[in-house]
Structures are given as C-alpha cells and as structure tokens.
Structure 1
Amino acid sequence: MAPEDEVFDTQAARTLVNQLRGTFSTCKTKSYEWRISQLKNLLKLANDHEQDIIDSSYLTSPNLHSKHMSPRSFLCFRSCLADLLDKVKTSITTFPSSAEVFPEPLGVVLVISAWNYPFLLSLDPVIGAIAAGNAVVLKPSEISPATSSLLAKLVGEYMDSSAVKVVEGAVPETSALLEQKWDKIFYTGNGKVGRIVLAAAAKHLTPVALELGGKCPVFVDSNTNLKVTTRRIIAGKWGLNNGQACVSADHIITTKDFAPKLIDALKVELEKFYGNDPLKSEDLSCIVSSNHFARLEKLLDDDKISGKIVHGGQRDQNHLKISPTILLDAPEDSLIMNEEIFGPLLPIVTVDSLEDSFNMVNSKEKPLAAYLFTNDKKLKEEFVRNVSAGGLLINDIALHLANPYLPFGGVGESGMGAYHGKFSFDTFTHKKAVLYRSFAGDASARYPPYTPAKLRLLRALLSGNIIGIIRALLGW
C-alpha cells in the first residue's frame, strides 16, 4: 500500500486495522500450518530476491551495508512452534489438577522499522510476529525509500495479504497508524520518536517494544591483545555502516597511560583497511543523508573539541563521506559527548582506573550495549556484575546480536522489551495460564460455614504446610 496510490489517512488506517482484525478473528493465523507456510515464504522471498534487496539498499545510500534474514531464524522459530504448550507443576491447593502455559498471539500488531539495516530491521520482528500467530502491519522507514518500495511489492507477492500488510510513507502515515488501537507496537529507532510511539500507545494501553540506542561505551584494558582489539574496534565502529548502527562503538574509555598505544595501533590498522585516503575507499560506508551529514558536521565543528582530533576529520559533502575520526579527551560538556554519535567519529576518554569508570557510565543513561576488551578475569566479572546495559560483550563488538539464543534489547533510555530467536516469539505472545480440574476432590473446607477446623485446613493449604494439612484433616 503506497502513498502515491491513494491517501493514507486516519480513516484508511482504521479500515486497514479492521480488515486485519477480521482476518485474525477467523483464527487462521493461529494454525501451525499457516505460520510455517508464511515463514517459508519469507525465507523464499529473501533467497529469490537477494540481489534486489542489495540494490535497493545501495539506492538509498551507496556503500551502506545491508544484512539479510538468516535461515537460522526460520529454524529457531520452527523449534518454537514444534512445542507450543509448556506443562507446569501444580500445587496441593488445587489438587487434583493439571496446568499449562498456553502461548497465544496478541492479535494485530504494528512494526515500525529503521533505515540503517532496512531489510533486516523490517522483517526480523515480522518473522517473530508471524511465528506467534499475529496479523501484522509493517511500516518501513521512509529514509530508505527503495527498500520500502521493494518490501511493499515483495510482501504483497509472497505473503498472505489478508494478514500481512506493508504501509509506506513518512510522518503522516505513521501518525495515522499510531492513532489506531493495536495489540502490540514494535518500534526500532531513536528515543525522540520512541517517546511519541509510547505516548500514542498509552492512549489504548497498548504494550510496546522499543529498540532504541544510546552511547555504547567500549572499555579497553591495557591487559589485552592490542592488535586483535584494535581490529575488532574498527570492525565494530567503521565496519558497521561507518558507525551508523545502534550497537556501534560510541566512545572508548581507557587509561591515560594506555591511550597513546591504543591510538597508534588504531591508526596503523585503519590505514591497512581503508588506505591513505579513506574517503575514496569503497569499503567505507557513506553517511545516509545530507541531514545526517550536517548533524555530524555540527558535532565536529563544536568549538569545545577544537584541537581534540588526533586522527581523520576529512569530509566530502558531495559524496556524503566522513573519514574515520578519533578524538582524545573531548570535554564532557561537548556535543559529541552528550549526543548519540551514529557516525564515524570516535572519542577516546582517558581515566586513572578502568574499574572506577564503570560508575561513570552507570551515572548516565543506560546504553543499548557495552563492551570490554581485557584478559583480566576479575575485570570481566566486575564488568558483568556492575555495568548496566541492554547487552554486554567481552572482547568484541556487536556480535552478541548475531546469537539468536540471546535476547537483544535495551534497558532504560535504550529501550524496552527484547527480540531475536525465541525472544521474538515471546515478545508477540501472551502466555496464558490454564488450569484443568476434574469434579473429583471437592473439599468441603472451601465452603461456608467456616469453622475453626476448616480455617486451620485452609491456612495449611495456602502455606503448603503438609504436616498442618494432615493435622487439620485429622482434627488435631
């Protein structure tokens, strides 16, 4: 459903949601067969049109890398669907009985995706929503219009159009969608829009999953493999869309004594990867738009960081490229130290003690990810125990999100809720409690009149006191 075909306003959004509710009410999306067929179709979509997907990403931003849906996601969800019911224990209070947790789809859900990995961040949550048995509306980012258009076309061709829809457009279309009552909203993006989504959802008491961002810190200990550390930092900063990723390294924290060695090592590896003129490197992604380029220039032109650039800083506005840039000890009140960078600029903050800097990070808004490079076992343990973030990774950057058996999500300002693998299934599912009882074992103690003996038995039952139950039954 594209905006150029017809005006997508509040009435159109209401009609769309009602249509999907009609489909959901038939219960067809709840069947195992429907879910598996739709997941297979999504996998086929990705396999059949891999080059189209790559081309659409390139049209949005040349050299802006894109990731694709993995068959592992499909296999993980098939495993979820193979055993839908979880049998659980019962208590003596409900004896005789049996119980189970029945996962049921929430209903009609809205997925609003981001531009930096436009295909992955669109379909990954949609896979979870379908696996859970929901009807879905996907709203791709208007900043990646080529991918948005391709998704609308391919989803219409491969998926059940009565239950899975794509709505293209920008702010007006998103606003019209947010005015509707949904059973879940899943949003990937920034905190500013996240607040708008949350406020709109609150009007209908709609549950929300927010995948946001934050200033992801990288702690680098002197007790580390310096060459591997620098290569992985580069891969996790400039190799990830030139820093345009929510889990990208935002800044480094290291000791004053070790910082010069780290900077020198970064310079050596950066030249190996991107050459003497990184602006001409085909392996370095460009900035997604002129607006984002201007935003990054504003960070670089801040008077408070004058003289702090120790490497890089070159810009090519015509081709929307900024070279890998390292800054040393930018003031805490500078723009670059207070805004999520989301680009190729990497400040290095020096401290006396790495352990003491954990509290410095915890005193600020919680990031989506935090990283530590060290060989020190004790420091690793303190990092895991004391640093609060959506996820942690030791001795690498960003790879934790590639493990479908780990939840991926934020905490505090970096988001709420989690997905990937089974956690995507869970985020679009209501875990319904079910208790089965027969007509046998109908104890008179639960009915009036409530004699002292009955009250003793009820207290014992509620406390699980077996001896008390026996004594009450025997009248002792």
Structure 2
Amino acid sequence: MANTSISDIDNLYSVQAKHRETVKHSTAQQRTKWLEELLKAVLSNEDAIQKALYLDFHKSAMETAITEVFAVEHELKQIIKHLTKWMKDKSVGRSLLFPNVSAYLHYEAKGQVLIITPWNYPFQLPMVHLAAAIAAGNVTMLKLSEFAPNTNQVVRTIIEKIFKPEHVAVIEGEVTETTHLLNKRFDHIHFTGSPAVGKIVMQAASLHLADITLELGGKSPAIFDRNISLRKAIKNVIWAKFVNAGQTCIAPDYLLAPRQLKSEIEQLFKQELEHAFGENPQHSPDYARIINEKQYKRLSSALSDAKSLGAQVVAGGSLDERERYIAPTVLSNVATSNPLMTDEIFGPILPIIYYNQIAEAISFVNQKEKPLALYVFSQDNKFCKHVIRQTSAGSTCINDAMIQILHPNLPFGGVNNSGIGQSTGWYGFKSFSHERAVADVKLIPMSKMFWFPYTEKTYKLLKWIKRIL
C-alpha cells in the first residue's frame, strides 16, 4: 500500500476537525456499537490477520492468536462491558469546607487525537489504543508503522469498513509523513516506540501543549532469588523473552541471578530451550523472525561484538541473514560496555549477570534508566517487597513475566525514560479523556462568606473554619 500523501493527510485532518464535536457528543450506546462492530470484524478476519503476521514476521498462527488477536479481543470486551459506567460522572464526596457543594468528575473527549504505533505488534497495538480513543469519543488519526505492510493492509481493511475517515483515518508513511503529522495541532498524542523517538514526539507536542502518552521501553530486568524452582522460573523467562523473537517492549532484557546457581541455571536454559524449540529452532514452526534487515544487522553486530569481548554463549548463537533468523540466545560474561548491556536489546538475546548479594543486583538496576517492567522470581515475600521498594519500574510481575499487561484492572505504562502516562482498560479510556472537575454549588455561594469589605467578622469566620478542618 502506498504512503498517504501529504495533501490527503491535510484533508483528513481538516474533515476530522469539523467532525470532532459530533463524535464528542456520541452516546455510550453509539460508542459501544462501534466497538462491537470492531470486535466482530477482528474475529471474522482472524485467518487474514494470521497470514499477514506470518508474512511480516514468520509469526506462527498460535502466537498471533495469543499475542495479537486475543489481546485485542480481551481489551475490546473489557471496554464494551464497562464503557457505560466509565462515561458516567463520578462523585468525589463532600467536604466539611464545602457542605453546600456537590463535587464530581466529568469525562469528556479530548477531541482530535493522533496515535503512532510501532512495528513489533502491528495488529494488537493499533487496535488496543484505537479502541480507547473511540471509547473516549475522539476523532483519531492512526499512523501505522511502515515495517509491517501486510498487517497494515488488514488493519486498514477492517477499520475502513466500520469507520468513516472523518472519525478514524488510517495513515501510512515514513519519517516525512510522521513529521508532517507531528507539526499539526492535536489534543492528544499517543506514541509507542523507542525513548529516542519519544523525545522527538514530546518536543513536537510541546509546541501546541498537546497532552501526550508515551509508551517507550528500556532494559527490563528479571531477578532470580535463591529459593525458587529454577526450572519453572527459567521456563517463564524463556516464554517471555523469546515470544515474537524477543521483539517485545516488556520482554525481560537481561537476567540477574545468584552466582552460586550459575551452573544449574545455564544447564537448565540449554535443556528448556531445546524442549521449547527443538535441536534447531530455525525449523521450529513456533519461532518468529526479526522484522527487517536493519534490526537484524543491529542485533547480529551487537552479538558479534559481545563474543569478541569475551561473552560466553550458553545456548543458541546461530544466525541466518537470508531469513533474518537469530536463534534464541543466552549469554554470560557480557561486557557492560557492549550495546547488549547499554541499549534495549529488543531481540532474542538474553544476557545473564550473576550477583553475590541482592544489593549488587539492585544497584545494577538502579544505575540504568527506569525500566518499563521489572520481574522478580522468589518465594520470599520480603525479598519481593524489598526489590520493589528499592527500585522503580513501570510495572512489576512476581513469579511470571509479561502477563501483567493483560490484567484488566492494572494500567500499562512506564516511568520517565520508559514512558509517560498509562494505557489499557479504564486507564486507556481515562488517558484519552479529559477528567473535568465540576463543583456544583447549592444554595449559598461560599464566596458570600468572604465578601468585601473584610472585617473582624471575616477573620473570626476564617479562624473558625481552620479549627474545624
């Protein structure tokens, strides 16, 4: 599919600006109907979605069903179920200071929004964030990544059958088109991608003081305690790390483990990787590929550099440039200066760092930017609480990995370098809504008590109010 022309972007922006008030005043029933139609279209196009993801990633049908289709289905069902309740005004309770005031929060659409999505989950992420924008009553320009063209075609087909372009417009393009969009005035910009590009998006948003949600990334650690079932923990990490060939923002980026367990850990990684993908993972029907040549070269170069600086291959390590294949790889003794330890890996390579005391592991984490996720494996609740208190991360999962993003009552988001703002479920609806404070005064206005001219009576009244609060 050809890139959206600049003139088409301008026209779509203009018609959406004219239509925003109509969509803003849509009812819960109307919005629910749109979302129900979207859900129906997703489920009826599952075969096309699976085919597209295979063409873009060599992603298996089952992995697509789990990480793309199910994730969207789950999100849409949650929003459909709760949207009427979410849209209602919410009382915040009375105050002794304001006995005559009914105070509540009113949720209104932000208006005209831009969603910029990445290539790593090219069906899930556009649909999940679009669902929240629709639920909140916005008109939306949805900019898809240029690196997943087959999936983009399916996304476009689904959306254009349900929504008119003045409500939801799909934009395809590269840096030129994205830059042109960012120069426009939006009420909210939702961006998912790297911290480096996130800074560019944030700078562009600041020119118009646009509200913003940034879902970024970083080096998300997994920390093993001594008193765990190693095999179980390693299987958890293998699934989370190597699903989608490691191209997941909340995948464990590196593992911190007790040094005395080194031999057992490395042996178990070899065994469980073979159980998962066979003797040659390149032949496994369940293992995806790297999205494009640029990402393949970045990862293969970092792996080569790591080996030359003394990194030891615990498992995997093989590559095939023709297929953009990198085996599920586990390393130890990786130099701290290597890109694998300084940058987010975003691929199927897992370095293991061994520690003697947990204080070393915590210090190692805290020397880096705050991660999007942090994983703790321990049967000791005090150990888990200690790690959580001593670190900072967008989210944490204990004794599993990545599943926190699917919990319907938890927000998804980062902190500082790993993101700003929150998404999914109620938090996604809230992100795309303006939470408007309303104070409804009944009977006597409070200002009457402090009317001019100020007298001794005014002073006594203020003193009395301060005493009872």
TM-score, length basis structure 2 = 0.93
Amino acid corresponding to residue 276 of structure 2 in structure 1: F
- 1:260 and 2:260 matched: no
Structure 2 CA distance for aligned equivalents of residues 95 and 397 of structure 1: 48
- What SS does the corresponding residue of 2:323 show, helix, strand or coil? coil
Structure 1 CA distance for aligned equivalents of residues 394 and 215 of structure 2: 10
- 1:243 and 2:240 matched: no
Structure 1: gaps spanning 5 or more residues: 468-476
Amino acid corresponding to residue 302 of structure 1 in structure 2: D
Structure 2 CA distance for aligned equivalents of residues 466 and 229 of structure 1: 55
The aligned counterpart of 2:144 is 140
Deviation, 1:441, is: 6.2
Deviation, 1:439, is: 4.3
The aligned counterpart of 1:313 is 317
8 Å CA contact retained: 1:241, 1:285:
yes
From 5, 10, 15, the equivalent of 1:8 is 5
From 190, 193, 205, the equivalent of 1:189 is 193
- What SS does the corresponding residue of 1:30 show, helix, strand or coil? coil
Amino acid corresponding to residue 299 of structure 1 in structure 2: A
- 1:223 and 2:227 matched: yes
The aligned counterpart of 1:58 is 54
The aligned counterpart of 2:291 is 288
Q: Which stretch of the first structure deviates more once superposed, 372-381 or 105-114?
A: 372-381
From 457, 462, 468, the equivalent of 2:461 is 457
Structure 2 CA distance for aligned equivalents of residues 443 and 177 of structure 1: 46
From 21, 26, 37, the equivalent of 1:25 is 21
- 1:445 and 2:419 matched: no
Structure 2 CA distance for aligned equivalents of residues 276 and 89 of structure 1: 62
8 Å CA contact retained: 2:270, 2:314:
no
Q: Provide closer, same or farther for how the CA distance between residues 254 and 150 of structure 1 changes in structure 2, counting only shifts above 3 A.
A: same
Deviation, 1:353, is: 0.9
Structure 2 CA distance for aligned equivalents of residues 443 and 244 of structure 1: 58
Structure 2 CA distance for aligned equivalents of residues 320 and 448 of structure 1: 77
Percent identity over paired residues: 32
Q: Which stretch of the first structure deviates more once superposed, 447-456 or 18-27?
A: 18-27
Structure 1 CA distance for aligned equivalents of residues 447 and 238 of structure 2: 69
From 125, 130, 137, the equivalent of 2:129 is 125
Deviation, 1:444, is: 4.7
The aligned counterpart of 2:358 is 354
The aligned counterpart of 2:92 is 88
Q: How does 1:371-390 map to 2 (within 5 A)?
A: 371-390=375-394
8 Å CA contact retained: 1:38, 1:160:
no
Deviation, 1:92, is: 3.9
Superposed CA deviations along residues 121-142 of structure 1, whole A, max 9, x for unmatched, are 1110111111111111111111
Amino acid corresponding to residue 172 of structure 1 in structure 2: T
Structure 2 CA distance for aligned equivalents of residues 3 and 103 of structure 1: 38
Tell me which structure has the larger Cα radius of gyration.
Answer: 1
Structure 2 CA distance for aligned equivalents of residues 37 and 425 of structure 1: 16
Q: Provide closer, same or farther for how the CA distance between residues 172 and 442 of structure 1 changes in structure 2, counting only shifts above 3 A.
A: closer
- What SS does the corresponding residue of 2:273 show, helix, strand or coil? helix
The aligned counterpart of 1:97 is 101
TM-score, length basis structure 1 = 0.92
Structure 2 CA distance for aligned equivalents of residues 228 and 94 of structure 1: 56
Structure 2 CA distance for aligned equivalents of residues 103 and 308 of structure 1: 54
Structure 2 CA distance for aligned equivalents of residues 373 and 456 of structure 1: 60
Q: Provide closer, same or farther for how the CA distance between residues 439 and 310 of structure 1 changes in structure 2, counting only shifts above 3 A.
A: closer
Q: Provide closer, same or farther for how the CA distance between residues 266 and 88 of structure 1 changes in structure 2, counting only shifts above 3 A.
A: same
- 1:274 and 2:244 matched: no
Superposed CA deviations along residues 200-227 of structure 1, whole A, max 9, x for unmatched, are 1111111111111111111112210111
From 41, 50, 71, the equivalent of 1:45 is 41
- What SS does the corresponding residue of 2:257 show, helix, strand or coil? strand
Amino acid corresponding to residue 8 of structure 1 in structure 2: S
Q: Provide closer, same or farther for how the CA distance between residues 442 and 251 of structure 1 changes in structure 2, counting only shifts above 3 A.
A: closer
Structure 2 CA distance for aligned equivalents of residues 274 and 440 of structure 1: 73
- 1:176 and 2:172 matched: no
- 1:34 and 2:37 matched: no
The aligned counterpart of 1:422 is 426
Structure 2 CA distance for aligned equivalents of residues 77 and 274 of structure 1: 36
The aligned counterpart of 2:347 is 343
- What SS does the corresponding residue of 2:14 show, helix, strand or coil? helix
Q: Provide closer, same or farther for how the CA distance between residues 443 and 269 of structure 1 changes in structure 2, counting only shifts above 3 A.
A: closer
Between Structure 1 and Structure 2, which shows a larger proportion of helix residues? Answer: 2
Deviation, 1:146, is: 1.1
How large is the Cα RMSD of the aligned pairs? 1.9
